[in-house]
Amino acid sequence: MSVSPVFPLSCVVQQYAWGKVGSKSEVACLLACSDPLTQISEDKPYAELWMGAHPRGDAKILDNRISQKTLGQWIAENQNSLGQKVKDTFNGKLPFLFKVLSVETALSIQAHPNKELAEKLHLQAPEHYPDANHKPEMAIALTPFQGLCGFRPVEEIVTFLKKVPEFQSLIGEDATAQLKKSMNEGSGAMASALKNCFSHLMKSEKKVVVEQLNLLVKRISQQNCVECMACSDNTVRAGLTPKFIDVSTLCEMLDYTPSPSKDRLFAPTLSQDDPYLSIYDPPVPDFTVMKIEVPGSVTEYKVLTLDSASILLLVQGTVTAIIPSVQGEIPLSRGGVLFIGANETVLLKLTVPKNLLIFRACCLL
């Protein structure tokens, strides 16, 4: 049987401190389900599962017939598997990193530069910007979560500044006044005022931030959360538990919380000219994530053939992946990850009559 550009992957787990611990982590559970020999450490965090060819987390190929040991090595020698447009546009590289995150505590505040700014920052400070790539992100909720992306409407921020003196103390009177004034002066003035407010908050000394947060927690406790504006917003209230006391708690009074009814969140890249504006774009063309649900009554499902390399994650169900071009079969269970080369046909035969839940990342140009 000849070797096919469709093969299973063993993917890298990142154990960042903010991840859920042990078997409470969906990342750990997916890992254990796909490999029964995996030993989950109940005292260690399992934060991210990386499915791709990133240099710091290149997936291993689970096919003894393939001489290359990692996905990145294989793609370097089999670039047609990317698809012609992807290959030409991204210089023979897989242009996305597919992840599963299992989050216990708040992640760090992030701003992702666009391609032009990323290249500039990489040249200026490679220790802080280790590569020259832009990093637009798309998050899809597997379980309920809260995410912050962009800024709240200025009217809401001004209300918080009025109702939460500790917040205003860190922003400062001048920046507060500028923001209030900008409400009548158009988007350019508001962007400048937001920049000023955010800069004041993020540049505050850690000692001062801790002092103001302690005052805020004490005041809310004494008021029993009856009249405090912060506690009328669930996002801020959640941030006031002892585990999360840091500057990100106050950033929640600036940042926007998407509706919990939406299961997708798009985090666009930011330009050098206007890095503080809240921008909500449709999905960027670099990547697409498809959610595939197949009822257990279906015995076989044909995976859509694409002119792009893709990575498939089986979240729920048990199947045999059939590759007609080489008459090959690959068993997959929950947590199984499959690389599919461009223009390859794959059939999924349900080996257990239970519903399938699949996510598939690709690049449609």
Distance separating alpha carbons of residues 339 and 5, to the nearest angstrom: 8
Alpha carbons 308 and 82: distance in angstroms, whole number: 5
Q: Would you state the structure tokens that stand for residue 181, as one six-digit string?
A: 């004034």
From residue 40, alpha-carbon distances to 55, 194, 203, 290, 313 in Å are 24, 44, 40, 29, 20
Under DSSP, the state recorded for 113 is B
φ/ψ (deg, to 5) at 313: -120, 125
Residue 122 labelled as part of a binding site = no
The residue count of the chain comes to: 365
Least Cα distance to 70 among 81, 80, 78, 62 occurs for: 62
Q: Which two tokens stand for residue 75?
A: 């793609």
Give the integer Cα–Cα distance in Å for 119 and 135. Answer: 12
Is 344 labeled as ligand-binding?
no
237 is catalytic: yes
In angstroms, the first-to-last Cα distance of the chain is 32
User: CA nearest 356: which of 284, 297, 282, 281?
Assistant: 297
The token pair that represents 58 in the structure block: 């290149």
Q: Which long-range contacts (CB under 8 A, 24 or more apart) does 298-303 make?
A: 298/350, 299/349, 299/350, 300/347, 300/348, 300/349, 300/350, 301/347, 301/348, 301/350, 301/356, 302/345, 302/346, 302/347, 302/348, 303/340, 303/345, 303/346, 303/347, 303/348, 303/360
137 is in an annotated binding site: yes
Q: What type of residue is 330?
A: I
Tell me which of 56, 152, 237, 264 is the catalytic residue: 237
Cβ-contact 332, 321 below 8 angstroms:
yes
Q: Measure the CA angle with vertex 273, ends 269 and 274; round to 5°.
A: 60
Binding-site annotation: residue ranges: 110, 112, 137
Give the residue numbers marked as catalytic.
237
Binding-site annotation: residue ranges for Zn(2+): 110, 112, 137
